[in-house]
Chain A
């Protein structure tokens, strides 16, 4: 299972998707929504909030086929590494990979940890962000 990769998915970063994401998290920063303001900054246009990348498609579910019960999973950890902000209108290719899976004995029984890494690459092949997510699976 470790080493399994999703198919890379092409994502066009839509301004409306950024706006809806900003609304959902309740973040009114004009960089996410105000075209005139955003154009006056060094970004030259609307960019996405730091956690927006979770909404991008990674092409296929790397967890598919694994015996994971949705009622038993919890998000344990999340890490982003950014090389630059995601810009409205650009295209990113995103791919996820299972990089670790292990089981530990805890107070409340066995707990498994599934670690996935996602990379977002732009149309020039430059890495824009990397994320690493740890999911806890209670037995």
Chain B
């Protein structure tokens, strides 16, 4: 968590601070199953996951999305407001993976006096595999306001 970012300080093409998570541990998948209520055994039961043809258990997609959400809330500060947040899961994240999430401002505009920013989002594993691609729209406070 850092200070407050303001609409006037952001420009199209700017990157926001990346967030590195992991290495992912199996225990985190168990905790996430409990906290989210998603008990699909493919995320927590190695025997079941392998019987289903996977090399091991793997992270819930929503855990990968939560990492991106953490990057966004860290960046936008307590006065920022997340309006829309969308992701596509392009590959699963495995135990041991280190996931780096990044975001870039692709649009910066005013609407009804509000300062809005559209971000392109991506997460990659240490091997460069893209696990998540997405977009978010954030309202940022204005210095003048």
Q: Is there a chain A Cβ closer than 8 Å to B13's Cβ?
A: no
CA gap between A137 and B55 in the complex, in Å: 19
Contact A24 B89 (CB under 8 A): no
Q: How large is the interface on A (under 10, 10 to 19, 20 to 34, 35 or more residues)?
A: 20 to 34
Q: Is there a chain B Cβ closer than 8 Å to A4's Cβ?
A: no
| In the complex, chain B residues whose CB is within 8 Å of the CB of A29 | 1, 70, 73-74
CA gap between A50 and B38 in the complex, in Å: 17
Contact A25 B63 (CB under 8 A): yes
Contact B42 A70 (CB under 8 A): yes
| In the complex, chain B residues whose CB is within 8 Å of the CB of A79 | 84-87
Q: How large is the interface on B (under 10, 10 to 19, 20 to 34, 35 or more residues)?
A: 35 or more
Please encode chain B, from 54 to 67, with 1 for each CB lying within 8 Å of some chain A CB and 0 for all others. 00000011110111
Q: Is there a chain A Cβ closer than 8 Å to B126's Cβ?
A: no
Contact A80 B38 (CB under 8 A): no
CA gap between A21 and B41 in the complex, in Å: 19
Contact of A24 among B36, B85, B92 (CB under 8 A): B36
Q: Is there a chain B Cβ closer than 8 Å to A31's Cβ?
A: yes
Q: Is there a chain A Cβ closer than 8 Å to B143's Cβ?
A: no
- Of listed A24, A30, A74, residue having the most chain B CB within 10 A: A24
Contact B86 A54 (CB under 8 A): no
Known A24-B35, A26-B21; contact A77-B85, beta-carbon cutoff 8 A:
no
Contact A20 B35 (CB under 8 A): yes
A107 to chain B, nearest CB (A): 15
B contact residues vs A (CB 8 Å cutoff) = 1, 21, 28, 31-32, 34-38, 40-42, 48, 51-53, 60-63, 65-67, 69-70, 72-74, 78-79, 81-89, 92
Q: Can you list 18 contacts pairing A with B, beta carbon distance less than 8 Å?
A: A21-B35, A24-B35, A25-B35, A29-B1, A29-B70, A42-B78, A50-B73, A50-B85, A51-B66, A51-B69, A54-B36, A71-B52, A76-B89, A77-B86, A77-B88, A77-B89, A79-B84, A80-B85
